[in-house]
């Protein structure tokens, strides 16, 4: 899972490009998509940015006020993701509903990994296998959208898969340096720098 060297000079630039493309896609959905697509895209972009802030930037966003703000925003974004998932099911958009369910599972896994790095280190193979299974399911959905000829959805899903896989690799790679003060979440390689 760590085939990409997250310490290489091109890696932060690549992450920034992926993030910018996702921001453009979110704009597209906000102005041209259904309400579920717009809400979903905006909520996921927010979650991605929050994970990037929390797992990168050498711990600069680990002050008490920053942590409270990040967690509050994450809760609001998670509620929006849930509302969009319910909307997809209500509209019989089953690929989108399954996609949402898999992404929610990815976020639960990432939350656990960020909050419990010791447990992840002890059971790294299990966490890697679980992440790989979830990402394989999301990759299958990319192929399903492509097979159905829904190219923009396939492209968008592939970008999201890339973005969260990079954060997953950063988290599984482990701490960059000691977190210092008790109660602080360790800083991980990565983030959008």
Give pLDDT tens digits for 143-183. Answer: 999 999 999 999 999 999 999 888 777 766 655 443 433 34
Predicted pLDDT at 177: 40
Predicted pLDDT at 145: 96
Cα gap 57→88, rounded to integer Å: 35
Predicted pLDDT at 66: 82
Span 86-108, average pLDDT: 93
The answer to whether residues 6 and 165 touch, using CB atoms and an 8 Å cutoff, is no
The answer to whether residues 159 and 21 touch, using CB atoms and an 8 Å cutoff, is yes
The answer to whether residues 164 and 106 touch, using CB atoms and an 8 Å cutoff, is yes
On whether the pTM is more than 0.85, the answer is: no
> Which residue has better confidence, 47 or 189?
47
What is the DSSP track for 26-48? Answer: HHHHHHHS-HHHHHHHHHHHHHH
pLDDT digits (tens, 9 = 90+) for 23-79: 999 999 999 999 999 999 999 999 988 887 777 666 677 778 888 888 899 899 999
φ, ψ (nearest 5 deg) of residue 188 = -110, 155
Structure tokens at 140: 């299958």
Predicted pLDDT at 179: 40
């Amino acid at each position: 899972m760590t085939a990409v060297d997250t310490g290489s000079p091109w890696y932060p630039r690549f992450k920034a490009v992926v993030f910018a493309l996702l921001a453009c896609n979110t704009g597209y959905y906000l102005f041209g998509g259904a309400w579920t697509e717009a809400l979903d895209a905006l909520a996921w972009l927010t979650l991605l940015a929050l994970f990037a802030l929390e797992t990168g930037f050498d711990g600069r966003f680990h002050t008490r006020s920053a942590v409270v703000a990040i967690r509050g925003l994450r809760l609001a974004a998670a509620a929006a993701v849930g509302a969009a998932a319910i909307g997809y099911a209500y509209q019989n958009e089953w690929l989108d509903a399954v996609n949402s369910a898999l992404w929610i599972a990815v976020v639960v896994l990432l939350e656990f990994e960020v909050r419990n790095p010791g447990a992840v280190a002890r059971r790294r193979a299990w966490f890697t296998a679980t992440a790989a299974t979830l990402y394989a399911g999301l990759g299958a959905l990319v192929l399903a959208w492509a097979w159905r000829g829904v190219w923009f959805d396939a492209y968008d899903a592939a970008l999201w898969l890339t973005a969260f896989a990079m954060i997953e690799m950063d988290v599984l790679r482990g701490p960059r340096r000691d977190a210092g003060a008790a109660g602080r979440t360790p800083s991980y390689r990565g983030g959008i720098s």
